[in-house]
Structure 1
Amino acid sequence: METTETIKPAKAEILKKAKAYITALFEEKLPPQLVYHSLRHTAVVVKEAKALGEASTLSATDLEALVLAAWFHDAGYIDVYDGHEYRSMEMAGAWLTERGYPADRIAVIQDTIRATHRNEASETPLQQLLTDADMSGMGQEDFFANAELLRAEWETMLGKSYSTTQWAETQLDFLLTAKFLTAAAKDRYQKQFKDNIKEQRKLLKKTEKKAKKKDEEVNGTFAEPKRGIETMFRTMYSNHMKLSDMADTKASMMIQLNAVLMSVIITYLGAKMGQTAALGSLFSKNPVLGVPMGILLITALGSVVTAILCAQPDVTSFKWLKRSPQIATNRRVNLLFFGNFSKLSLDDFQGGMTEIMREKDALYTNMVTDIYYLGGVLTRKYRLLRVSYSIFMVGLILTALSFVIALLYKS
């Protein structure tokens, strides 16, 4: 058993010099974005390493090595973020060598620092003690405050952004997979460590509840519709009705225009037919005049026919079983449109409407289906309207060109 003298905290001059060196180095060169891995964090790790080393009854030599490793374990952050442990080993070795520290003890200190890297194993007592000291924050009351500092540091240094819920999940996963390696650390931190896990679980549930509530406020739900959904459907119905009215108005204009045009042409030709000699004289003098008149007549006829088809009522309907327990939830059946429900008996229609009013999912399904088929009708209307206008435009151009040719031919 070791004597009391061997387990007292090491107070060699080298420790004072190491503290002064690291303090000056961090104050001068440590990036300000490192709000978690700061001089304060290093000082805490040194303090905890001393406490754990003393509780583990280390010899004065090993305790000195442990404390020196604690002072230098984050020194590499001044040059590199990821993999800073290896840079810390180099810096510790160079600084200790300059001061004539024994080479074998320098190797021990460097190996101890190496164990703090996430991919390195902690095998020796010194490595395990330093690892526990470095991770001691998860077993302390200020764990959550320090976690927010780490979150801010990762965002600025690594570009990793977390929502409150994501960060709570990340922290809980970390606590559930982490563990202390030494008996001294378990005795010192285990109680608070378990309390932190419980608190983190509560925090995660709280943040998830808030996020869900916020999402429902923004998007609403089918079970509890919000004003946004109602406004969306109202706007869509209004837009469909306006577009349908516009299509009918444009089709009506085209019907009237071409009807008048055809009436004039037919009336003119009819009058001339009563004067066969005059009409024959006209076409005999310039027979090419029959071409523009024919083109104009065909144009008017084609345009008016497609315009009439556009304005013609179109009722979409489907065949289904008149007695169906799922009539209100069938995605192809729209009980809100007369073209569908007129095929049903009164009892079936009343039953379906009652089911829609009772189940909001069925209501939204029918409204969406109704809008879909309205869109189909609009698509047909505007396609025919476009054809009507295209025929009229092309026909007028051809008529004008042929008339000019006829005039040139006459001259």
Structure 2
Amino acid sequence: MEPTETLEPAKAGKSEILKQAKAYVTQLLEEKLPPQLVYHSLKHTVTVVKEARNLGEDAGLEAADQEALLLAAWFHDTGYIEVNDGHEYRSMAIAEQWLRQQGYPEPRIKVVTDTIRCTHRDEPSENELQQLLQDADMSGMGREDFFANAELLRAEWETTLGKTYSNVEWAESQLDFLLSAKFHTREAKARYGEQFKANLKEQRDLLKKTEKKKKKKEEKATGTFAEPKRGIETMFRTMYSNHMKLSDMADKKANMMISLNAVLLSVIITYLGAKAGTKSGVLSPTIVNNPVLTIPIGLLLATALGSVVTAILCAQPDVTSFKWLKKSPQIATNRRVNLLFFGNFSKLTLDDFHAGMNQIMGEKEALYTNMVTDIYYLGDVLTRKYRLLRISYTIFMVGLILTSLSFGIALLYKM
């Protein structure tokens, strides 16, 4: 008869203790609950109590167990007023202290606190009461307001935990949650099962739509190789045109230096051999009679020779080449091979060239790979051309300055 005597106070005070618990928890959460907890609010607690009552009635619980279940539901999130992680254990302490002050029987206090404990993610449920409270606490995933509450939870985590989620990341986390979660009791499965399946399906669809929207946004911002935009084609066309113009300019400047210095060399050589006789040997009498002039003339000769040689090297046709495996089955996608340049494809057999070109025409990535490689080596040739051209112009400029200075010194010496 002792269990019956133990239960009598709970039965007798059932309505009153629950009424007092509601008033106490409501005031406690309204006054002390942090405002950033927009999901784990008083509204959430009231909802869990309501769902726990429905599940308890569906399960046909006795009055004492129904009372313990509802008391646990009222107190299960009160620990949030002090801590976030591990708030369940603080909720147990708050419930135990308050129930003891109300003179609630000790054995029933333990039932209530043990039921609260099971709401922690790492605590297993060992009896029906604990499973019913777990299902009531997680009933949101089987209700129509699941997605609205999920946004509240997202906002709460971002403010309290400092986490930020993109739409795709949040949709993925919610889908993972639904796939890993489950209801423990048959009452919860019967009450929430259909809506849970509908929410799971809608979450999958939402994730697909979110990912598709993100992909379109990225493609709009940057474009992709899968669907090339007109801007990419214009970029390649402009780069090819600029490289051709720069190459043509370099060749014209080199030809100008070649012509100028060739004339200069001809004049110098002609002057040095002019009026050469038996007495003066192979040199002009002017040089023989004025040996000091050999310095400026020698400098001018060296200037013209150095400038014309570097200009010729600049204008000389240059074919970039490198070693690569002809047996490679992926010739067209090899970044070291450029099938658009004769210096490379002339080393292939006709069959290999056909195979590579067919691969380029059939794969956009291979096409862009070869175009980028072609532009790179065009730039490499241009770098060499302009380096030699700069050297040619520098030699010519410095040589003329030194020649003029030495000629001036020679005139002063003669005077």
Q: TM-score with structure 1 length normalisation?
A: 0.76
CA pair 56-341 structure 1, distance change in 2 beyond 3 A? closer
Contact 1:73/1:89 (8 A) holds in 2: yes
The 2-side partners of 1:375 and 1:125 are apart by 76
SS at match of 2:123: coil
Give the secondary structure class of the aligned counterpart of 1:141: coil
Deviates more, 1:130-139 or 1:250-259: 250-259
Across the two proteins, how many residue pairs are aligned to each other? Answer: 401
- How far apart are residue 135 of structure 1 and its match? 0.5
Cα distance between partner residues in 2 of 1:321 and 1:101: 86
Deviations 1:160-198 (A, max 9, x none): 333333322222221111111222222222222222222
CA distance in 1, matches of 2:88, 2:349: 80
Does residue 377 in structure 1 map to residue 388 in structure 2?
no
Aligned equivalent of 2:290: 279
Match of 1:141 among 141, 144, 147: 144
Following the alignment from structure 1 to structure 2, what is the Cα–Cα distance between the partners of residues 9 and 236?
90
Change in Cα spacing, 1:156 to 1:323, as seen in structure 2 (3 Å) is closer
User: What are the within-5 Å matches in structure 2 for residues 51-200 of structure 1?
Assistant: 51-200=54-203
Q: CA separation in 1, counterparts of 2:12 and 2:168?
A: 43
Residue 48 of structure 1 and its aligned partner are, at CA, apart by 1.0
Per-residue CA deviations over 1:87-108 (Å, capped at 9, x if unaligned) read 3233333333444444443333
CA distance in 1, matches of 2:25, 2:407: 98
Shift in CA distance, 54/395, structure 1 to aligned 2, threshold 3 Å: farther
Unpaired stretches in structure 1, ≥5 consecutive residues: 284-288
Aligned to 1:367: 371
1:198-213 correspondence runs (5 A)? 198-213=201-216
Q: What does residue 286 of structure 1 align with?
A: none
Residues 324 and 336 in structure 2, CA contact (< 8 A), matched pair in contact too: no
For residue 22 of structure 1, the aligned residue among 21, 25, 46 is 25
- Classify 1:325/1:91 alpha carbon distance in 2 versus 1 (closer, same or farther; 3 Å): closer
Q: CA deviation at 1:231?
A: 2.9
| Larger deviation, residues 127-136 vs 227-236 | 227-236
Given that 2:272 and 2:287 are in contact with CA atoms closer than 8 Å, whether structure 1 keeps it comes out as: no
Q: CA deviation at 1:128?
A: 1.8
Q: CA deviation at 1:46?
A: 1.0
Q: Which residue of 1 aligns with 2:318?
A: 314
Q: What is the CA-CA distance between 1:134 and the residue it aligns to? A: 0.7
Change in Cα spacing, 1:136 to 1:405, as seen in structure 2 (3 Å) is farther
In angstroms, what is the RMSD of aligned CA positions? 4.6
Q: Offset of 1:320 from its aligned partner?
A: 9.6
Q: Is the 8 A contact 1:48 1:133 kept in 2?
A: yes
Secondary structure of residue in 2 paired with 1:149: helix
Q: Aligned partners of 1:106, 1:147: CA distance in 2, in Å? A: 33
Distance 1:37 1:345 in 2: 73
In the alignment, the residues of structure 1 paired with residue 400 and residue 65 of structure 2 have an alpha-carbon distance, to the nearest angstrom, of 102
The structural deviation recorded for 1:233 is 1.9
The answer as to whether partners of 1:323 and 1:348 remain within 8 angstroms in 2 is no
Distance change in 2, residues 1:164/1:273 (3 Å) = same
% same residue: 75
Contact 2:314–2:386 (CA<8 Å) still a contact in 1?
Answer: yes
- Contact 1:9/1:50, CA 8 A, preserved across alignment: no
Residue of structure 2 in register with 1:226 after alignment:
229
1:43 aligns with 2:54: no
Contact 2:321 2:343 (C-alpha < 8 Å) held by counterparts: yes
Secondary structure at 2:290 match in 1: helix
Shift of 1:41: 1.0
Using the TM superposition, give the Cα deviation of residue 136 of structure 1 relative to its aligned residue in structure 2, in angstroms.
0.6
Moved more, 80-89 or 135-144: 80-89
Aligned CA distance change for structure 1 residues 65 and 349 (closer, same or farther; 3 Å): closer
Q: Distance in 2 between matches of 1:249 and 1:80?
A: 79
Rounded to whole Å, the distance in 2 between the matches of 1:342 and 1:158 is 63
How many angstroms apart in 2 are the aligned matches of 1:83 and 1:126? 21
**SS in structure 2 opposite 1:12?**
helix
Q: 2:340 aligns with which of 336, 341, 345?
A: 336
CA distance 1:102–1:10, shift in 2 (3 Å): closer
Distance (Å, rounded) in 2 between the aligned partners of 1:149 and 1:171? 13
CA distance in 1, matches of 2:17, 2:327: 93
Q: Are residues 329 and 46 of structure 1, via their aligned partners in 2, closer, same or farther at CA, if it must alter by over 3 Å?
A: closer
Aligned in 2, Cα 1:89/1:322: closer, same or farther, shift over 3 Å?
Answer: closer
Structure 2: gaps (5+ residues): 275-282
Q: Is the 8 A contact 1:6 1:58 kept in 2?
A: no
C-alpha distance 58-319 of structure 1, shift in aligned 2 (>3 A): closer
User: What TM-score, normalized by structure 2, do the two folds share?
Assistant: 0.75
Q: Shift of residue 84 of structure 1?
A: 2.1
> Are the equivalent residues in 2 in contact too, given 1:261–1:300 (CA < 8 A)?
yes
Alpha-carbon spacing, 1:216–1:7, altered in 2? closer, same or farther (3 Å): farther
Q: Distance in 1 between matches of 2:409 and 2:118?
A: 96
Q: 1:227 to 1:161 in 2, by over 3 A?
A: farther
